[in-house]
Amino acid sequence: MKLDIVSKNLEKKGSIDLPAQFQEPVRVDIIQRAIESEQAAARRPYGAKPTAGRRHNAYVSKRRRDYRTTYGIGQSRTPRKIVSRHGTRLNWVGAVAPQTVGGRQSHPPKALKVWTKKVNSREMQLAVRSAISATLSKELAKRRGHKVPDSYPFIVDNSIDAVAKTKDAAAFLSSLGLAADLERAQATKIRAGKGKSRGRRYKSKKSALLVTAKECALSKAARNLPGVQIVAVDKLTVDLLAPGSAPGRLTLWTQGAVERLAKEKLYS
C-alpha cells in the first residue's frame, strides 16, 4: 500500500510504500486488553493506614458484674471510648467499630494490592500494530469525532520536524486541513461529580497525534496545542494511538517515522 507524501499546503512531494505494520487487521478486543494493562501499570498503590480508627483505647466490658456495664440503660454494646467519668457514670462515645463516628473502615484499601494486569509481549506488539493500522481509516477517525480533511490519510515530509514555535506548528497543521479538528479540541467540559475538587476539573478532547522519527524541535513546539500529542516512533503506546480503546485516532506520520518503522521492524 502506498501513501502520498505532502508538505505544507498539501503539496505532493512523492509517495512511499507502507511497511507491514500498517497491514495488521484491526482487533478492538486486543487493543482494549492492552490499554487496560497500560493503565493498570500506571496506577499508584494506595491504602489506609493500618492503625487508622484504632489509635485509642475503646475497650468496654460486657460483663454484668463490672461497673462499666451497658445493660439496662438503653445503649448498644459497641466498643466505646471514655471521654469523662464521674463515679460509676461514664460519658463515652462509640469508637473502633466500623459503624461508629470516627471508627475504622470495614474493608479499607490495602497498599499491598497488585493492580497490574499482565499481557503477553507478543499480544502487546499485536495491539500496537493493530492500532497503527487503524490510523489509516478515515471512517474510524470520523467515528471518533475527528474533523479529518478530504485527503486523509497522508504522510508528512520531514520539514515539519524543524518547526520550533507553537504558532508555526498551528499554522502548519492548519495548512494540512486540521484547523477544524484543532478548534474542536479547544472546547473543555467541566467534569461531573467530586472529580472537580480532586485536581481533574476539566475534560478535554484528543486531537491529532504527530509521530516523528526521533525527538525534534516539533516535540516542544506542538505540545502546547490543545489535544495535540507528539511522540517518537519507537515510543508508541496503544493508549496514544487509540485513546479510550477507540481505534482510529487522527495521526500524522512523518516520512522519517515510516522509514524507521520499516528499517528497524519495530513492533513486529
Map residue 144 onto helix, strand or coil.
helix
Q: What is the pLDDT of residue 1?
A: 83
For residue 92, report the phi and psi dihedrals to the nearest 5 degrees. Answer: -140, 165
Domains of the chain: 2-38+117-263 (3.40.1370.10), 44-114 (no CATH)
pTM for the full predicted model? 0.83
Neighbours of 83 (CB within 10 A): 9
- Taking the C-alpha atoms of residue 74 and residue 60, their distance in angstroms, rounded to an integer, is 15
228 and 207 Cβ atoms separated by less than 8 Å: yes
For each successive 10 residues of the chain (268 residues), what is the average pLDDT?
90 92 95 96 92 84 64 77 81 88 91 93 96 96 94 93 93 94 93 94 94 93 93 96 95 96 94
- What residues does 82 pair with on adjacent strands? 92
- For residue 92, the surrounding DSSP H or E stretch is strand 89-94
Q: What is the pLDDT of residue 268?
A: 87
Which has the closest alpha carbon to 170: 215, 136, 218, 233?
A: 218
- Taking the C-alpha atoms of residue 24 and residue 1, their distance in angstroms, rounded to an integer, is 12
Query: Where on the phi/psi map is residue 145: left (φ > 0), alpha (ψ -120 to 50), or beta?
Result: left
Q: What is the pLDDT of residue 93?
A: 87
- Taking the C-alpha atoms of residue 34 and residue 218, their distance in angstroms, rounded to an integer, is 28
- For residue 188, the surrounding DSSP H or E stretch is strand 188-190
- Taking the C-alpha atoms of residue 3 and residue 5, their distance in angstroms, rounded to an integer, is 7
Write b or e for each residue in 184-196: b if 16 or more Cβ atoms lie within 10 A of its Cβ, otherwise e. bbeeeeeeeeeee
